[in-house]
Amino acid sequence: EKAGFDHFMLKEIYEQPKAYRDTMGSRLSDDGKSVVLNEIKMTPEEVKAIHNIHIVACGTAYHAGLVGKSVIEHLARIPVETDVASEYRYRSPIITKNTLVVVVSQSGETADTLAALREAKRCGARVVAITNVVGSSVAREADDVIVTWAGPEIAVASTKAYTSQLIAFYLFGLYLAQTLGTQEEAVLAETIAALQALPEQVEAILEQAETYKAVAEKIATHENLFFIGRGLDYAVAQEGSLKLKEISYIHSEAYASGELKHGTLALIEEGIPVIALATQDALLEKTVSNIQEVSARGAYVIGIGMEGSPSLEKSVNEQFLIPGTLSLLTPALSVVPLQLLSYYASLARGNDVDKPRNLAKSVTVE
Ligand code: F6R
């Protein structure tokens, strides 16, 4: 059932191109100019009445929601907040009937996420669910459901479910933009074309999977490390850090690159690995200067850049490149090297990759 792979996690990492294709599936028009989200039953008037959006989820799904916030704000110009579900209810969030609440859950059974959904409905908000399980509790109770067609995810560490959630957010962001008219048709078409190129680009990263092994083995000898990034790279850094912690048991922290000098820089010492995401062209110069801050203190920097962007080679110890795409879409590519680094680091440490200690696949207690 592992189809020749040593672990479910690796199998699921390799299933991502298919998961992207299946999730986009028939939701893109044949002419490549628009998104068709028939599962969203909102009328154009209802979409226009949305004042703000709350994205609520736990763990990896929350990290997908951080990307979702940027995507929706960028494409549809609606203000978005992303919250951890276990915090959301207790901060008495301001939910009105003009608030759209988007809950994200692979399993559709996470207790905190379900409780947040119920609280949102009680306050009169419409709820859209992004879930991987048709007929799950979250799917049944939401008003509209966008199913991620990632297929069953067995490994505790989420990979293809996360990336399929990203695809769902791109589709939903485009849907809102086309309904509200916030983007030129050419921008929508360009984004859709770039989305359609992603599966092959993931395949290209996976063809090089072995190149991450040596660096992962080096990381595996450390007890602490950092991920840094700006903007969408910061959102992906948080997911990379969670993935590494949960399966390799190495302590890591994800930091917004610009925040380092406000405290964390004190922890940078000779040899500490720093994984620096630098795929956002508009922020590159600033990110490079943050990389130099850690390099100057002896960090061993692993840079993740993008083909076609200025090289990081001079500022980092190791450089990996993702294929070129739009800045908005980089998370769907840049997380893959981080999944591979975590996988190989866990393997090097002799851990149970698919069943990390203390964790369950579905968390049905609050
Ligand atoms: C981490 C992981 C968890 C889940 C979280 C939410 O790899 O899988 O952080 O993302 O428990 O689960 P779902 O998406 O089922 O609500």
CA distance 50 to 79: 10
How high is the pLDDT of residue 362?
A: 84
Q: Which H or E element spans position 126?
A: strand 126-131
Closest Cα partner for 247 from 159, 364, 121, 146? 159
CA distance 198 to 17: 8
| Ligand 1 neighbour 136 (Cβ under 6 A) | no
Distance in Å, CA 51 to ligand 1 centroid: 28
Residues marked active site are found at: 361
Confidence of residue 316 (pLDDT cuts 50, 70, 90): very high
Instruction: Region of 161 please: left (phi>0), alpha (psi -120 to 50) or beta.
Output: alpha
For residues 170 and 188, the answer to whether their CB atoms sit within 8 Å is: no
291-297: average pLDDT: 95
301-311: average pLDDT: 95
Per-residue pLDDT tens over the stretch 224-278: 999 999 999 999 999 999 999 999 999 999 999 999 999 888 999 999 999 999 9
- What is the SS3 assignment for 34-58? CECCCCCCCCHHHHHCCCEEEEEEC
Global ipTM = 0.99
Per-residue pLDDT tens over the stretch 191-234: 999 999 999 999 999 999 999 999 999 999 999 999 999 999 99
Distance in Å, CA 297 to ligand 1 centroid: 35
Is the pLDDT reported for residue 74 higher than 90?
A: yes
| Ligand 1 neighbour 356 (Cβ under 6 A) | no
| Ligand 1 neighbour 106 (Cβ under 6 A) | yes
How high is the pLDDT of residue 263?
A: 87
| Ligand 1 neighbour 22 (Cβ under 6 A) | no
- SS3 state at 19: helix
Distance in Å, CA 241 to ligand 1 centroid: 14
Is the pLDDT reported for residue 149 higher than 90?
A: yes
Confidence of residue 361 (pLDDT cuts 50, 70, 90): confident
- Angle 99-100-103 from CA coordinates, rounded to 5°: 130
Backbone φ and ψ of 99, nearest 5°: -95, 135
How high is the pLDDT of residue 300?
A: 98
Q: In 10 A of CB 21, how many CB atoms? A: 15
For residues 292 and 285, the answer to whether their CB atoms sit within 8 Å is: no
How high is the pLDDT of residue 365?
A: 83
CA distance 199 to 186: 22
Atom 6 in ligand 1: residue holding the nearest Cα = 58
* Dihedral sign from CA coordinates of 260, 304, 289, 66: negative
- SS3 state at 298: coil
Mutation to probe ligand 1, out of 67, 109, 110 (largest number of atoms < 8 A from CB): 110
Distance in Å, CA 285 to ligand 1 centroid: 34
How high is the pLDDT of residue 366?
A: 84
| Ligand 1 neighbour 72 (Cβ under 6 A) | no
How high is the pLDDT of residue 232?
A: 98
For residues 250 and 222, the answer to whether their CB atoms sit within 8 Å is: yes
CA distance 194 to 215: 30
6-35: average pLDDT: 96
Atom 10 in ligand 1: residue holding the nearest Cα = 60
| Ligand 1 neighbour 158 (Cβ under 6 A) | yes
Per-residue pLDDT tens over the stretch 103-141: 999 999 999 999 999 999 999 999 999 999 999 999 999
Distance in Å, CA 76 to ligand 1 centroid: 27
